[in-house]
Each structure stands twice: as C-alpha cells, then as structure tokens.
Structure 1
Amino acid sequence: MTTHSAKISPGSQVCLHLAVYLEDGTEVLSSFGDEPMRFRIGDGTLAPGLESLLIDLRPGADEQILADGSALFGAHDAGLVHRVPLSDLPEGFAPEPGEVIQFQAPGGQETPGTILSVDKTEAEIDFNHPLARRGLRIHVHLIEVS
C-alpha cells in the first residue's frame, strides 16, 4: 500500500521521473515526457550515489539537486584510462575526442568509454563513468513509493 507518509528507503519500490543535466543545461537523460521509471532501490537500475539522493523523499516530492558527478558515480581512477589500438575499434569508426562510445566488457556487459585523444595508431580512452568528472543537476519527481 502506498501512502503519502511512505518515504524512499533501501529496498523501496519507486515510481518516479528523473532527469540529469550537465552544468551547461545539456540534458543527459530524462524520463519526463515518457513513461516514469519503476525500480527497486538497490537493484542496480541507478548508481548507488544517485540512489542516495533519493533516500527519504516522499511521494509528490519535486526536487532539483546539484551534485558532483564523482560523488554519484565514483572518483576518477587513472587506472581506467587506456590506450587502445585503432585496429581494436569497429571497422570504419573514426573516433573523435569527447565522444562517448559503448564497449563490450569481458563479462558481456557494455561499458562506456570517453575518447580523450587519437593519433595515427591509438586512441586514449577513459573508462571512468562519463559523468564522474562533471557538475550535474538532478531533477526528480517522485510519484509513488511502496
């Protein structure tokens, strides 16, 4: 049963709209204007740092939250920056600095990588979360908690 006294806590089932914007206002993702997101806190749908911003919100909450990407997605790890031979990238792909592309990780899951630089034989790719080094504005409208 959902009541207005319910609030988000670990394990809560939630229904909400969520948008993430860069400091310059660029929208990174948004469920506004589409179906709301439905998930359980802790199920891996959202990064744990992002989930932590939702704890204690109650249905009807409409919040704008400023956050540092590293607090939400982890501090930058220099060990996740790699030089990759261009021959390992998809055939015909011309990487551009700043571009974020998906890579297949050894376990089968996809992971994003941000192209930092490109020379004649290699691309330097940062496999840290693409938003980890950014200032962010999070907009959340909580519809339901159970």
Structure 2
Amino acid sequence: MQVDKNKVVSFHYSVGADGEPVDSSRDRGQPLEVLIGHGGIIPGLENALAGRAVGDRFQVSVPPAEAYGERQEGSIQRVPKKYFQNVQQLRPGSVTALGLREGGHRQVTVVKVGTTVIDVDVNHPLAGRTLDFDIEITAIRDATPEEIAHRHVHGPGHAH
C-alpha cells in the first residue's frame, strides 16, 4: 500500500530549522498519524509522503512557501488574557496556543504581557524558515468513512 489521499499514515519524524532541532516524534515514543489529503500537515511534507510505502525512510527540506509561509512583519495583535491558558506563566518569547473564536487554536509568540491583554506575534513560530525533516513511515491504512467525513484521524480503535 502506498501513501495517497484518504489513507492514514503513521510515521516517525525529526524536524529542524536552520541547523537546530525543533521537534521529534521519537521523543514521545509514538509516530504521528495523519489523514492524507485533508490539510492535517504542511503541504510540502504531505507532497513528500505521496507514493511512499511502509518502511521508507527519507529526508526532505520544505521551503517556507510549502510550510508555514513567509513571516509577515507587523503581525502583532493585542488579545485579552481570557483567550489564553496558563497566563501567569507567559513571558515575552513564550510560544503558546491562542484559542480562536471559531474553535481550535493557533500558535503565537508572546511579545508583551500587560495587565489585561497580551500582545502576540501571530506569525507561526516557524514562519519564514526552511524545515528539514527525517521521516520513517511505519504504517499505512485506509481511512474509515467517519475519518474522511471528519477530516482527521480518530484515536485507538478508530474512536472519535
């Protein structure tokens, strides 16, 4: 079986940017599982996975345009503290998740912490950086109809 749209792919990865390590699934001991073709991972990585098979191990560099985009200067927003978790731990330079009105979260970098608001840079922390991945595909399976309808992988036993 090969990686294609509507397949669930499990893979281990290590990613770095500008020669410094950023993240690794091996540190958590579990591969990442993604539903291909539904925007769950950056486009450059999804394209690099296409057509691969279980056991394939490869490296790929993903430019900003196929990852988190170029940095947009002046993308600072002032946000009420109620939209953040663990506010008392936030400091300038902290990367945190910002709760969105429409649901979900967005990674932002804290610029300034005020009394009732926090100024954040809404660029993704990896915007403007080329990402270097080391990938090992560990499993591929057909997605369930529910996963396709919901546009994401469900948990163990494929429960939502």
Aligned to 1:41: 36
CA 1:120 to 1:51, structure 2 compared with 1: closer, same or farther past 3 Å?
same
Residue 103 of structure 1 and its aligned partner are, at CA, apart by: 0.9
- Structure with more of its chain in helix, by fraction: 2
Q: TM-score with structure 1 length normalisation?
A: 0.73
Determine if contact 2:77/2:122 at 8 Å carries over to the other structure.
Answer: no
Determine if contact 2:7/2:36 at 8 Å carries over to the other structure.
Answer: yes
* 1:105 aligns to 2:105 (yes or no): no
CA distance in 2, matches of 1:11, 1:119: 43
* 1:118 aligns to 2:112 (yes or no): yes
CA 1:64 to 1:82, structure 2 compared with 1: closer, same or farther past 3 Å?
same
Structure 1 residue runs without a partner (length 5+) = 1-5
Q: Percent identity?
A: 24
Letter in 2 for 1:19: S
Aligned to 2:26: 32
Determine if contact 1:73/1:129 at 8 Å carries over to the other structure.
Answer: yes
* 1:134 aligns to 2:139 (yes or no): no
Q: TM-score with structure 2 length normalisation?
A: 0.67
CA-based RMSD? 2.7
Aligned to 1:143: 138
After superposition, what is the alpha-carbon deviation per residue over 1:79-124, rounded to whole angstroms, capped at 9, x for unaligned?
7x12316xx236545531x321111111121111123x43878754
Residue 37 of structure 1 and its aligned partner are, at CA, apart by: 2.3
Determine if contact 2:2/2:52 at 8 Å carries over to the other structure.
Answer: yes
CA distance in 2, matches of 1:12, 1:111: 26
Structure 2 residue runs without a partner (length 5+) = 142-160
Letter in 2 for 1:110: H
CA 1:53 to 1:129, structure 2 compared with 1: closer, same or farther past 3 Å?
farther
Letter in 1 for 2:24: S
Aligned to 1:83: 77
Determine if contact 2:98/2:108 at 8 Å carries over to the other structure.
Answer: yes
SS where residue 139 of structure 1 aligns?
strand
CA distance in 2, matches of 1:68, 1:40: 22
Count of aligned positions: 135
CA distance in 1, matches of 2:11, 2:65: 23
